Every structure is written in structure tokens, then in C-alpha cells.
Structure 1
Amino acid sequence: MSADDVREAANLLDGVITRTPVVESRALSQLAGARVVLKCENLQRAGSFKVRGAYTRLSRLTSEERERGVVAASAGNHAQGVALAAGMLGIDALVFMPVDAPLPKLSATRGYGAEVRQVGSSVDEALSAARVEAARSGRILIHPFDHADIVAGQGTIALEILEQVPDVGTILVPLGGGGLVAGIAAVLADAAPHVRVVGVQAAQAAAYPGSLDAGRPTAVGLSPTMADGIAIGTPGQVPFGIVAERGVEVRTVSEDLLSRGLLLVLERGKLMVEPAGAAGVAGLLAAAPGEFAGPIVPVLSGGNIDPLVLLRVVQHGLVAAGRYLQLRVRVQDRPGALAALVDTIAAAGANIVQVEHSRTDVSLSVSEVLVNLQVETKSAEHRTSVVERLRQDGFAVDVT
């Protein structure tokens, strides 16, 4: 695949997709030691980059194939992209999604006009069901990442980045099955080979490192991850070939870094992203200052997040950033004991947001009470100093 293939896809997408903006981030620039510019595909139609590849693939179907309809599988973003593209092109669409797919993604996919069936606990299981349906019904399978048209459509992001940030030095790309990073790498190999491309996977769903070591797509067991959009057990043959041939670097990031990245983009950039969409930012947070040549462009690949998941991820991010502390403290069950505990926390400069007493814990003596506290702190260092201050004042503290 070449940059010319991607330019042809860009012509197909002209007037269909949104040319998403880039936003400079002072906060990330200070952390990275280089200019950081966010590519905001979270503001794309249907909330992610996926509509680029979906529309490219569907628009190239023959009339006979369109009549047969299409079938797809997705955790949510590809589902919405296929549903939106199918609706624009007048094609009947059936989408398989995992049983625990986020409700907003389910309702949005149905809202775009697709039929949704829920099956399995992962994208890979949903994809197996979609393949069976394609064989049974004759529908055309629209793979989420393993097709040249899909890769070409996703690669159009790189063309926009080169126009918007012409001196770009590094692009950080969320990586699941590989369609997005492969499309970007294909463009840059021809148009700007000096630009460094780094794919970033969730450590708990990272199929590419082992596959690259093996020299072929290799299945990996998935652990639960908040980044459901990039939780893919096996790389696609088409994107894997491009990633391997172009020597794309792949890194992994922890759940803590994913949540911190999401929180930073939300709080400092005023941009809503899903955990998978924050993977590139998480990769930047994991790197040493100056490690990546600037300008650095993390791709915010999607912004479709369940509000309930957002609440949990934000809290996780606050804990990871040292700005939220949960404590279990034993105190004597006598007047003034709780006041002394509160005074110590106040003197340490922390803010109590929730207090809960328990006198029924089996580990307590008759004269003790257990106090569960949720406390706001200012940094990891401040969090440590609050705990130390409590222990210095004689409190038995467990950090939960």
C-alpha cells in the first residue's frame, strides 16, 4: 500500500467525513519537552476515526454486493462507523457486538440504522459470529481492520496531519488490530519517511509485541482493560504486514497511564476521549522528556465513552495521579477521636470528601471503630505526606 492509495481514499471521503482539528497542548508540551499537538478524531462523525475506513470499504462495493447487505463486528466504534456509512450509501447493515458493549455505543449504532446482535465477551468472539453470518446469509463482511480499503481510509488521517502540522516529528497512535497505525505508516513511508510512528497498545491486550517477535499474527489472551476499543486478540494480516515491513515501533501502557492520559486530556485539553482514544497520550506520559522528536502528535482516536465508565476512569486517573486517597483508619471509640483524625488530615492540607464509620468489622476490638475516608490530595508527593502525617500522629492507617 502506498500514499497514492490513501489519497484515492481521501478523494472518496471528501465532503463525507470531518476534517478534524488539531489542538496544541501546553500541559503535554511541558511534560514532553517538545511541542505536542493533539489530532482530535474524537470529534469525527460517529465519534471516532472508524468511519473513514468503513465508508471507503462500503463505497467500493459493487451494486450486487450492496444488495446483499453487510455484516460487521465491533466493540462500538467500527459498529458506529459501519452503521453511519451504510445509512449514507443505502446499504442494509447487521452488526455483532460483545454482550458487555457500552450502552451508548449500542444505542448509537442502532440510531444510525443498523441491526445489532450481541454475542460473546470480546471483539474476536463477535467477529467469529459475523463470519458465520456472512457465510450463511451472503452478506459482505466488513472487517474492522483487516482489509486494504479499511487501512487506506484510516490512513487519510496522516494526510491531514502532514498538512496541519507540516514539521511533525513523531505520531503516537492507539493500536488494536492495526488498521489505523498501518494506514498512517503507509502514508509516511512515502510522503515523510523521517517521521517516527509509534503504536501504543494497552498492556493487558497487547497482541503486536509477540506477533512481531514471531514474524506473523499471533493470538494472545486478553485481560480486562478499560481500553475496550483496542482490545484485539490477534492482529490483522493486512495491517500486520505493513507494520512489520515499515518497522513501526510498538509500546504498551498500563491501565494507570491510560486513565491518567484520559484525565489530563479532559481536564487540561477540555476534550472528551475514551480510554482507547487516550492511548497515544498514555504513551507520551510513559516516555522520558525529550525521548520523542517534536512536534509530537498523539491521535485521539475516539471519544465514545459510557458516562458510568467515565466516572470510574476519572476516579482511577485521580488515584493514579496522586490526587485521590482512600484510607481505612482505626481509632478509639471515644469522644474527640474522630475530631483528632479530621484535624490531622486538615493540618496536612488534604480535603475529606466522604467519611464512613464501621463498628462491625471482625478485626476490631470492642473499643475501636473503623473509619473509611475518601480524601482529595494535590499530588503523589502530597498523598504520601498525608499518610506519613497520620502515622506520625499515632493513627493505624491502611491505604486502599
Structure 2
Amino acid sequence: MTSASVLMAMELVRRSAVRTPMVSSAVFDSLVGRSVWVKDETKQVGGSFKFRGAYYAVATSTSDQRAAGFIAGSSGNHALALAHAALHHTTSATVVIPSDAPASKRDALDALDAQIITYDRHRDHRDALVQQIAHRTGWTVIPSSNHHAVIAGAGTVAWEMMQEVPDLIALVVPVGGGGLAAGSVLAAMGHNPQLRVIGVEPATANDMHRSVRAGRLMPIPPPDTIADGLRHTEPARLPFEIIKPLIHDVVTVSESAIAGAMAHLWRHYSTAAEPSGAVALAGLLQCVDRLPDGPVGVVVSGGNVDWPSYRTLLDAAMETERNTHAAVLR
């Protein structure tokens, strides 16, 4: 795959995907000492960047594949994206999601008429289950990351960012399976090879961080993190092979840092980001001092929040911030 793959995806994706806003905050810029541009993919179809890749994969499928239908395994956002893409192309979608997926995502899938199959993330092997079902039914599998079209579609996020703010010196993106990071490094190579692409993942779900440093896939046990969309146990192989030689760095962040980033996004950008969507901003706050001068782009990848959990996390983050501020004043 090359940057041309992303440019080709742009031609189809722009027909149905939202060109989401790049937003800034003078107050937040003053806090970090530089210009920060947030790409708000919470405003995307399906509430996350995942629609781009799923749409492009279905759009480039064959008529026989669309007649039979599609299946995907997902923690929720890719499942929603595939369900929306299927509606756009008048085909069917079946999604295999963890039994503990947020209720908000399951409710949305029901509303989109997707067929839902659940699995136990601690006991079952999701991808093997998806392959078994696909073999039995003839449905086409569209993985959440390990797919050329999905990666190219995801890369359109970065392409739009670089078009709107050409002098960005870095892109900071969340890392789960690696599709967004892989698409971003491909887009950067075609637009500005000097642009740094930095991946961010939870410290408890550091499979990509470990794998990039080892130069090979490094599986981890099922992780426990509030960022439910990033609970991968191993990077997807195709994105990893793209990312490994091209990404500038992969950093990890704590659970409290993720919650704190959610609070910043709400306060300064009026954006309700799910934990997975806020991870990149948490990573920027951690590594900003190591970046050269210049504007930075941050991908807020999704906003399909589970509202009770969201309110709890936001309240706790803001209370911590208030206590820290009070201690400094004393």
C-alpha cells in the first residue's frame, strides 16, 4: 500500500462520509504552549472514524459479495460503521461484539437492523469465530483493521487534516488494531514525509507499543482499560507491517490521563469523546515537550459514549483537576 491508496479512497469516501471539523481552542493552546487542531470524528456517520474504512470496503466489494452480506468482529465502533455502510449500499451486516460492549453501542446496532452475535472476550477467540461463521454462511469478512480498503479509508482522516492545516508538524492518533495509524502514516508519506505520526494507546493495552519496539508482533493478555475500543491483545498484521518502519513513536497513557483528556475535550472543545476517542489528546499532553515547534493535529476518533460511565469518568477527572489546582494555590 502507498499514499495513492488513501487518495483513491478519498474519491469514494467523500461521497458519503462527513468532512468533520478541525477545531481549536485558544485556552487549550495557551495551556500546552502551541497550536492544537482537533479532528472531531465524533461528528462522523456512526459517531467514529470507522465509517470511512467500512464504507470504502463495502463500496469496493463485488456485487455478489453485497448480495450475500458482510460480517465483522468489533468492540462496537467498527460494527456500527459496517451497519451504516451496509444501509448505504442496501446490503446486510452481521456483527460479532463482546458481551460487555457498552449498552449505547448495542442499542445503536439494534436501531440499524444489524444482526448481533456476542462473544466472551476472555474465553472466545473473536476472529476465529467470525471466520467460522463466514465460512458457513458465505458472508464476506470486513475486519476492523486488517484490510487494505479499511486502512485506506481510515487514512482519509489524516489526508483531510493535512489539507486543512498544511503546516502541521505532527499527527497524534489513537492505536487499537492499527488501521488508523497505518492509514495516517501512508497519508503523511504522500503529503509531507517530514510529518511525525505518533500513536497512543492505554498503558494497560500496550500491544502496539511493545510490538514496534520488538520489531515483531507481541501479544498481551486481554487488557483492562476504560478505552473499550482499544482492548486489543495483538496488533493486526497488515497495519503493523505498515506502521513498523514509518511511525515516529507509540506512547502509552494512564487511565487517569485518558479521563483527564475527556474532560479537556468537553471543557475546551465542547466534544463528548468516548475514552478511546480521547486517548490521542492524552498522548499529546504526555509528549508535547518532545515535539518541535509548530501546530499539532490530534484525532478524536469517536464519541459513542456510554452516558452513565461518561459522567462518572468526567466528574472524577474534574474533581482531580480541582484538587490539583487548589494544592498549587496553597
Match of 2:301 in 1: 301
| Contact 1:74–1:123 (8 Å) recurs in 2 | no
Match of 2:275 in 1: 275
Measured after TM superposition, the shift of residue 106 of structure 1 is 0.6
3-state SS of 2:250 partner: strand
Over residues 179-230 of structure 1, what are the superposed CA-to-partner deviations in whole Å (9 max), with x where a residue is unaligned?
0010010011122011111000011111112212332222111331110111
CA distance in 1, matches of 2:290, 2:66: 50
Measured after TM superposition, the shift of residue 105 of structure 1 is 0.5
Q: How does 1:125-274 map to 2 (within 5 A)?
A: 125-274=125-274
Match of 1:379 among 319, 325, 330: 325
3-state SS of 1:160 partner: helix
Larger Rg: 1
3-state SS of 1:116 partner: strand
| Contact 1:99–1:120 (8 Å) recurs in 2 | yes
CA distance in 2, matches of 1:158, 1:3: 11
Measured after TM superposition, the shift of residue 127 of structure 1 is 3.1
CA distance in 1, matches of 2:10, 2:122: 31
Amino acid at match of 2:314: V
3-state SS of 2:29 partner: helix
Measured after TM superposition, the shift of residue 319 of structure 1 is 4.2
Amino acid at match of 1:274: E
| Contact 2:223–2:233 (8 Å) recurs in 1 | no
CA distance in 2, matches of 1:78, 1:11: 21
| Contact 1:185–1:248 (8 Å) recurs in 2 | no
| Contact 2:121–2:222 (8 Å) recurs in 1 | no
CA distance in 2, matches of 1:19, 1:274: 20
Aligned residue pairs, count: 330
3-state SS of 1:379 partner: helix
Amino acid at match of 1:285: L
By percentage of residues, which structure has more strand? 1
Q: Are 1:96 and 2:103 an aligned pair?
A: no
Assess, with a 3 A threshold, how the Cα gap between structure 1 residues 159 and 291 changes in structure 2: closer, same or farther.
closer
Match of 2:19 in 1: 19
CA distance in 2, matches of 1:122, 1:269: 36
By percentage of residues, which structure has more helix? 2
Assess, with a 3 A threshold, how the Cα gap between structure 1 residues 61 and 315 changes in structure 2: closer, same or farther.
same
- The structure showing larger relative contact order (alpha-carbon pairs under 8 Å, at least 6 residues apart) is 2
Measured after TM superposition, the shift of residue 304 of structure 1 is 0.5
171-180 or 209-218, which deviates more: 209-218
Q: How does 1:64-143 map to 2 (within 5 A)?
A: 64-121=64-121, 125-143=125-143
- TM-score when scaled to structure 2? 0.95
Q: Give unpaired runs (5+ residues) of structure 1.
A: 324-376, 386-400
Over residues 329-384 of structure 1, what are the superposed CA-to-partner deviations in whole Å (9 max), with x where a residue is unaligned?
xxxxxxxxxxxxxxxxxxxxxxxxxxxxxxxxxxxxxxxxxxxxxxxx4726169x
Measured after TM superposition, the shift of residue 59 of structure 1 is 1.1
Measured after TM superposition, the shift of residue 66 of structure 1 is 1.6
- TM-score when scaled to structure 1? 0.79
CA distance in 2, matches of 1:127, 1:101: 16
CA distance in 2, matches of 1:124, 1:283: 31
Match of 1:343 in 2: none
3-state SS of 1:190 partner: helix
Percent of residue pairs bearing the same amino acid type: 34
| Contact 2:198–2:247 (8 Å) recurs in 1 | no
| Contact 1:74–1:127 (8 Å) recurs in 2 | no
3-state SS of 2:244 partner: helix
Match of 1:356 in 2: none
3-state SS of 1:265 partner: helix
Q: How does 1:7-46 map to 2 (within 5 A)?
A: 7-46=7-46
